[in-house]
A and B are shown apart, each in its own frame.
Chain A
């Protein structure tokens, strides 16, 4: 894989449901994988910075895992709330100088009350 790909493109879930999305990225020259949360009319904010294969990060109801060998990361949201509605972006950083950062197109999550 050469680009950063995210799936699904969009997702509607009911309040209280748990959900997860996928980020696929180039595994060669891996440096770091970022997850960002992007609310409408705001700017993206970092959720997680992940660097090690097997990393698991958690912030409240949101967690992420990382597999650098196969080039994927999962983001999980447990018990979705309406305030979780946002676009979730992942970004791949590859080594070789000064961290070229490539974003996926994001997964747009809407949590229905």
Chain B
């Protein structure tokens, strides 16, 4: 158990719909990352938040948005869904510093599998 919780684990929806994926990071981790894994593809970086602020943006579509709340949980909102958005969406968290030592190691949740029909 990595300590990172993602909900829902599975989600089936129709094209054009909107969904929200939720991530609770490990206790104390300030950084949250979102990644997309499509069929037979690697991990594609979407976006990163640090302590509530957006810090880095990857190949995230304009139809997608995310935020990190004061309690450090994060949500990824996917709207106007298309068939190609079907993927496994991972959230990961990291501690910038751990007992004074910089690590940056990412801890991954189990992912949210989105199927768009």
**Which residues in A have some Cβ–Cβ distance to B below 8 Å?**
31-32, 34, 36, 42-46, 49, 51, 89, 91, 93, 97-106
Interface centre among B2, B43, B109 (most CB of A within 10 A): B43
Inter-chain contact A98/B42, CB cutoff 8 Å: no
Inter-chain contact B105/A34, CB cutoff 8 Å: yes
**Which residues in B have some Cβ–Cβ distance to A below 8 Å?**
2, 31, 33, 35, 41-43, 45, 48, 50, 55-56, 90, 94, 96, 102-111
A-B contacts, CB under 8 A, total: 63
Inter-chain contact A45/B42, CB cutoff 8 Å: no
Residues of B within 8 A of A98 (CB): 31, 48, 50, 55-56, 96
Q: Report Cα–Cα, A43/B107, bound state, in Å.
A: 9
Residues of B within 8 A of A51 (CB): 102
If A45-B2, A45-B108, A46-B105 touch, whether A102 touches B90 (CB-CB below 8 Å) is no
Q: Report Cα–Cα, A32/B98, bound state, in Å.
A: 15
Which of B2, B104, B107 makes the CB contact (< 8 A) with A99?
Answer: B104
Residues of A within 8 A of B107 (CB): 46
Q: How far is the CB of B107 from chain A (nearest CB, A)?
A: 8
Which of A99, A104, A105 makes the CB contact (< 8 A) with B94?
Answer: A99
Residues of A within 8 A of B43 (CB): 44, 89, 103
